[in-house]
C-alpha cells in the first residue's frame, strides 16, 4: 500500500572509490614528507581497483537496476521483454512467449530475427551474441540502423540480466540453424554451440533464474505482476501476440495460468478495460494515433472523462512505462489545456481562462504512448522521459486532433467544458478556504493537550507526526522544525476500527484526539479544506510492534478518512533499525538486509565496526532522529496509496487481516506462513 515519496540518500561513491585515511597537515615552515611509513594510508596506483566485464554489475547492482528489491527483480524481466518487443515494433516478430516455470526461472521467446551469432569485428574470438551478453552498453540499438525506435536503448541491457542470474541460457534460431550457449553469473560455461539445422524456427529464446546471492534466498517473481507487465506490452502494440504461461503451483490469486494477449485496438482497448463499470462524461472517448509525428516518431492516445473515481495517466515511451511522467506528459497536458481554453474562448465562456491541467486530467482516464528515436531518460530504470522533442511532438499531434474533436461535436464539447470548469471552481474554492488563517481556525478547535503544534498558519507545507508514547514524542519534539512540524504522541496501540463497534469508536479518546488534531470530520463529512496539515506522517518504531501500530493507524485512515489517503496526505516515516560506527564514520541501516549490505560495501580496512540496534524512537538522540527520519531532504517517506485498480482487493485484504473474524486471519497465516522470513519476535 505504500509507495516511496522521497529519495534515499544517494550513494556517491563510484567504482574506483577507496576509503582513504585523512592525512595530518604539515607543520608550518616544514615541507611535507614524501616518504610514507608502512601502513600510514598511502594512496598510489596499486590502490586503484578496476572492475572489468560484468563485475561492476554484481558489485553494485543498484547502479544498474535501482536496487535488489522486488521492483528491481522484476526489472530483469522488463529488460528481456523489451528486447523482444523491439523486434515486434520493428516488424520482425509477431509473437512473444512468456513462461514462468516452477523452479522460479523465466523464459522469454520471440520469432524475430535472432541475436547475431557471427564473430564480432572488434572481438574476433567472440560471437556477437557473447559480446552482447557479457559487455555493458553493447547492442544494435545505438546507431539507429537496426532499430528506428527501441525500448531497450536506454535500458541496462540483457548483459545485466545475465550478470545477475545464477543460470542464464540462450537459444538463437537464425538462418535455419539453432545455436545455444549457457552462462553462470555472467560467465559463459562454454563456447557457442551449433545444434544443427532447424527449418521452421527463428528468433531468440532466453531462460534465466535470478541469483539468490544478489536478491536473497526468498526472492521470487510474482505471477500477477509478470502477467500485468506482459498484458500492458500487448496493449501498447496491437501487432504483437503475447502468449502467457505460468506453472499452476505458483499462482495463489486470480492470475490466469495461460492466456493469449492480443489487443488490435491498442490503447483504445486498454482504456475500455480500465474504465469498465464507470460512467463517462462524454459519449465518445478522445482517441487517435499519428504515425508520422516529427522526423522519426509516432504518438497514440486514448482519453475519457468519468465520475466516481480518481483520474489516472499511464504513459509509455517505446513501450516502456514512464511511471514518473516526463516531457511527453507535459505535451499532453499543454495540448488539452490550450484546446479547452481556445474552445471556451470561441463559445464565449469566460471561465475557461481559469482552467489548469489538474482540472482537465483530475477526473480523466488517459493513456499515452510515444515512439521516438534515441529517447533520453532520467535514471537507468527509465521511469521519466526527458527528451525535449517529445513535448513538442505530443503537443502538436494531440493539439491538432483535440481542436477538431471539440469543434466536430459541440454538444459533447460543451458538456466536457462545463465539467472541467466545475473542477476548476472547486479547486479555487478549496484554495480560498485553505488561505484562511489556521490560527483563527485553531481557536475554534478543542485541540488535544499532548499536541505540540507548529507555528506557521498555512496548511501548505505543514506536517504532523503521529508517534507512539511520550518517550518517542519527547525526542520528536526536540528534533522537529517548530515552524512547520507538529507532534502528536499516542499512548499504546489505538483501537482496531475494523473490528470495533460504532459506540466503542466514538468513546475512544486516542481516536478523538487524532481527529481533533487534524481538524476534520470522518466519513462522508470529510472536507479537504478543514485539514490542518499537508502531510500526516505515521512514525513508529522499526520493529514488529511498531508495524502493528502503523497497521492499526492505516486501517483507521482507510476506514474513517479514505479521502485523506486519496488526496495523497498520508505517509509513513522510515526510521533506521541499526547504527553502524567505525572510527569517525557512522551510517544507519533500515533493516537487517541493509545492515549486511552496508557492512559489506561501506566498511573496510582495520577496526571493529560497532553495530547498535535502536529499540525504539525514544532511544534515539534528537539529533539522530532529525537526521535520519524527520529532516526534509535527508529522510525517507513512504506515501500510503490505494491504486484505483486494486481498490476492491485492498478492501478485502483489510477486512481479512483486520476485521472481526479471527478465522480469516488464521486462514491467511496458514496460507502464507511458509513465505515468512526475518521474523522479529
pLDDT at 398: 97
3-state secondary structure of 324: coil
DSSP 208-228: EEE-HHHH-TT----HHHHHH
Beta strand 177-184 with 165-174 is antiparallel
- Going across the sheet that includes 485-490, the strands are 2-4, 637-640, 570-573, 535-539, 463-468, 485-490
Q: What is the separation of C-alpha 331 from the centre of its chain, rounded to a whole number of angstroms?
A: 22
- Whole-prediction pTM: 0.60
Q: How confident is the model at residue 377 (pLDDT cuts 50, 70, 90)?
A: confident
Of residues 604 and 531, more confidence is placed in 531
Of residues 11 and 512, more confidence is placed in 512
Distance CA 553, CA 561 (A): 11
Distance CA 279, CA 196 (A): 58
Residue 491 confidence (pLDDT) above 90: no
- pLDDT tens digits, residue range 298-316? 999 999 999 877 889 999 9
pLDDT at 41: 57
Residue pair 515/509 in contact by the 8 Å Cβ criterion:
no
Of residues 259 and 680, more confidence is placed in 259
Distance CA 647, CA 569 (A): 17
Q: Is position 541 annotated as part of the catalytic site?
A: yes
DSSP state of 232: H
pLDDT at 64: 87
Q: What is the separation of C-alpha 328 from the centre of its chain, rounded to a whole number of angstroms?
A: 18
Q: Is position 468 annotated as part of the catalytic site?
A: yes
3-state secondary structure of 626: helix
Residue 541 confidence (pLDDT) above 80: yes
Average predicted confidence (pLDDT) for the chain: 83
Residue range 277-292: mean pLDDT, rounded: 91
Of residues 222 and 64, more confidence is placed in 222
Q: Is position 543 annotated as part of the catalytic site?
A: yes
pLDDT at 525: 84
Q: Is position 545 annotated as part of the catalytic site?
A: yes
What is the four-CA torsion angle of 368, 369, 374, 377, rounded to 10 degrees? 40
Q: How confident is the model at residue 407 (pLDDT cuts 50, 70, 90)?
A: very high
87 grid coordinates:
523486434
Q: CA geometry: angle at 14 spanning 32 and 83, to 5°? A: 160
CB-based contacts of 448-451 (< 8 A; 24+ apart in sequence): 448/488, 448/512, 448/513, 448/516, 448/517, 450/488, 450/489, 450/513, 451/486, 451/487, 451/488, 451/513, 451/517
* Range among 143-152, 408-417, 621-630 with highest mean pLDDT value: 408-417
Residue 275: other Cβ atoms inside 10 A: 18
Residue 520 confidence (pLDDT) above 70: yes
Q: Give the residue among 157, 203, 162, 202 at the shortest CA–CA distance from 182.
A: 162
543, 591, 602, 627: the catalytic one is: 543
3-state secondary structure of 95: strand
pLDDT at 266: 93
169, 481, 545, 602: the catalytic one is: 545
- pLDDT tens digits, residue range 23-80? 334 444 444 444 444 445 566 666 555 556 788 899 989 888 888 999 999 999 999 9
pLDDT at 409: 95
376, 395, 468, 513: the catalytic one is: 468
- pLDDT tens digits, residue range 125-136? 889 999 999 988
The structural domains of the chain, ordered by start, are 57-261 (3.30.565.10), 267-434 (3.30.230.10), 437-575+614-641 (3.40.50.670), 647-681 (no CATH)
Residue range 278-302: mean pLDDT, rounded: 87
Of residues 455 and 210, more confidence is placed in 210
79, 389, 453, 541: the catalytic one is: 541
DSSP 502-538: HHHHHH-HHHHHHHHHHT---GGG--GGG---SEEEE
Amino acid at each position: 500500500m505504500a509507495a516511496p515519496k522521497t529519495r534515499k540518500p544517494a550513494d556517491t561513491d563510484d567504482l574506483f572509490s577507496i576509503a582513504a585515511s585523512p592525512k595530518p597537515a604539515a607543520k608550518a615552515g616544514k615541507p611535507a614528507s614524501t616518504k610514507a611509513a608502512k601502513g600510514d594510508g598511502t594512496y598510489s596506483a596499486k590502490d586503484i581497483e578496476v572492475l572489468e566485464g560484468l563485475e561492476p554489475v554484481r558489485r553494485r547492482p543498484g547502479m544498474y537496476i535501482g536496487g535488489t528489491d522486488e521492483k528491481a527483480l522484476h526489472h530483469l524481466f522488463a529488460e528481456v521483454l523489451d528486447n523482444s518487443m523491439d523486434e515486434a515494433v520493428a516488424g520482425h516478430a509477431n509473437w512473444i512467449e512468456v513462461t514462468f516455470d516452477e523452479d522460479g526461472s523465466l523464459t522469454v521467446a520471440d520469432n524475430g530475427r535472432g541475436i547475431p551469432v557471427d564473430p564480432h569485428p572488434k572481438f574476433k574470438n567472440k560471437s556477437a551474441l557473447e559480446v552482447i551478453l557479457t559487455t555493458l552498453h553493447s547492442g544494435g540499438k545505438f546507431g539507429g540502423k537496426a532499430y528506428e525506435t527501441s525500448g531497450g536503448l536506454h535500458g541496462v541491457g540483457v548483459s545485466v540480466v545475465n550478470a545477475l542470474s545464477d543460470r542464464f541460457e540462450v537459444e538463437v534460431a537464425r538462418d535455419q540453424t539453432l545455436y545455444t550457449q549457457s552462462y553462470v553469473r555472467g560467465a559463459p560455461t562454454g563456447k557457442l554451440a551449433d545444434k544443427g539445422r532447424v527449418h521452421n524456427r527463428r528468433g531468440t529464446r532466453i531462460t534465466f533464474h535470478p541469483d539468490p546471492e544478489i536478491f536473497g534466498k526468498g526472492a521470487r517473481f510474482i505471477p500477477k505482476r509478470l502477467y500485468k507487465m506482459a498484458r500492458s506490452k500487448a496493449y501498447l502494440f496491437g501487432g504483437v501476440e503475447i502468449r502467457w504461461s505460468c506453472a499452476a503451483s505458483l499462482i495463489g490469486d486470480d492470475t490466469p495460468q495461460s492466456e493469449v494477449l492480443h489487443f488490435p485496438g491498442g490503447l483504445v482497448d486498454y482504456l475500455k478495460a480500465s474504465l469498465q463499470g464507470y460512467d463517462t462524461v462524454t459519449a465518445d472517448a478522445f482517441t487517435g494515433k499519428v504515425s508520422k509525428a516529427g522526423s522519426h516518431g509516432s504518438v497514440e492516445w486514448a482519453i475519457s472523462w468519468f465520475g466516481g473515481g480518481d483520474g489516472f495517466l499511464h504513459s509509455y515511451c517505446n513501450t516502456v512505462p514512464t511511471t514518473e511522467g516526463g516531457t511527453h506528459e507535459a505535451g499532453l497536458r499543454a495540448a488539452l489545456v490550450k484546446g479547452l481554453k481556445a474552445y471556451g474562448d470561441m463559445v464565449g465562456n469566460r471561465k475557461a481562462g481559469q482552467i489548469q491541467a489538474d482540472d482537465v486530467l483530475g477526473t480523466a482516464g488517459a493513456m499515452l504512448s510515444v515512439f521516438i528515436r534515441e529517447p533520453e531518460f532520467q535514471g537507468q530504470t527509465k521511469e521519466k522521459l526527458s527528451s525535449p522533442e517529445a513535448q513538442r511532438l505530443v503537443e502538436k499531434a494531440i493539439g491538432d486532433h483535440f481542436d477538431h474533436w471539440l469543434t466536430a461535436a459541440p454538444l459533447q464539447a460543451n458538456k466536457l467544458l462545463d465539467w472541467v470548469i466545475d473542477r476548476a471552481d472547486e479547486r479555487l474554492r478549496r484554495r480560498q478556504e485553505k488561505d484562511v488563517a489556521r490560527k483563527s481556525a485553531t481557536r475554534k478547535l478543542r485541540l488535544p493537550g499532548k499536541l505540540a503544534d507548529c507555528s506557521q498558519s498555512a496548511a501548505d507545507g505543514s506536517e504532523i507526526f503521529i508517534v507512539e508514547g511520550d518517550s518517542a514524542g519527547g525526542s520528536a519534539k526536540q528534533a522537529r522544525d517548530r515552524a512547520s512540524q507538529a507532534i502528536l504522541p499516542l499512548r499504546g496501540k489505538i483501537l482496531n476500527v475494523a473490528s470495533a463497534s460504532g459506540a466503542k469508536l466514538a468513546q475512544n479518546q486516542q481516536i478523538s484526539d487524532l481527529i481533533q488534531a487534524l481538524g476534520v470530520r470522518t466519513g462522508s463529512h470529510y472536507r479537504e479544506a478543514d485539514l490542518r496539515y499537508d502531510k500526516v506522517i505515521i512514525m513508529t518504531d522499526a520493529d514488529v510492534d511498531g508495524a502493528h501500530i502503523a497497521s492499526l493507524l492505516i486501517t483507521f485512515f482507510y476506514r474513517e478518512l479514505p479521502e485523506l489517503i486519496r488526496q495523497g496526505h498520508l505517509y509513513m516515516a522510515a526510521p533506521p533499525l541499526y547504527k553502524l560506527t567505525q572510527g569517525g564514520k557512522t551510517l544507519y541501516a533500515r533493516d537487517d538486509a541493509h545492515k549486511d549490505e552496508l557492512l559489506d560495501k561501506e566498511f573496510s580496512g582495520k577496526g571493529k565496526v560497532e553495530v547498535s540496534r535502536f529499540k525504539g524512537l525514544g532511544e534515539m538522540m534528537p539529533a539522530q532522529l532529525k537526521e535520519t527520519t524527520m529532516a526534509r531532504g535527508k529522510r525517507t517517506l513512504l506515501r500510503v496509496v490505494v491504486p484505483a485498480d486494486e481498490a476492491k482487493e485492498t478492501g478485502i485484504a483489510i477486512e481479512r487481516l483486520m476485521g472481526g473474524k479471527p478465522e480469516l486471519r488464521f486462514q491467511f497465516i496458514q496460507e502464507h506462513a511458509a513465505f515468512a522470513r526475518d521474523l522479529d519476535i
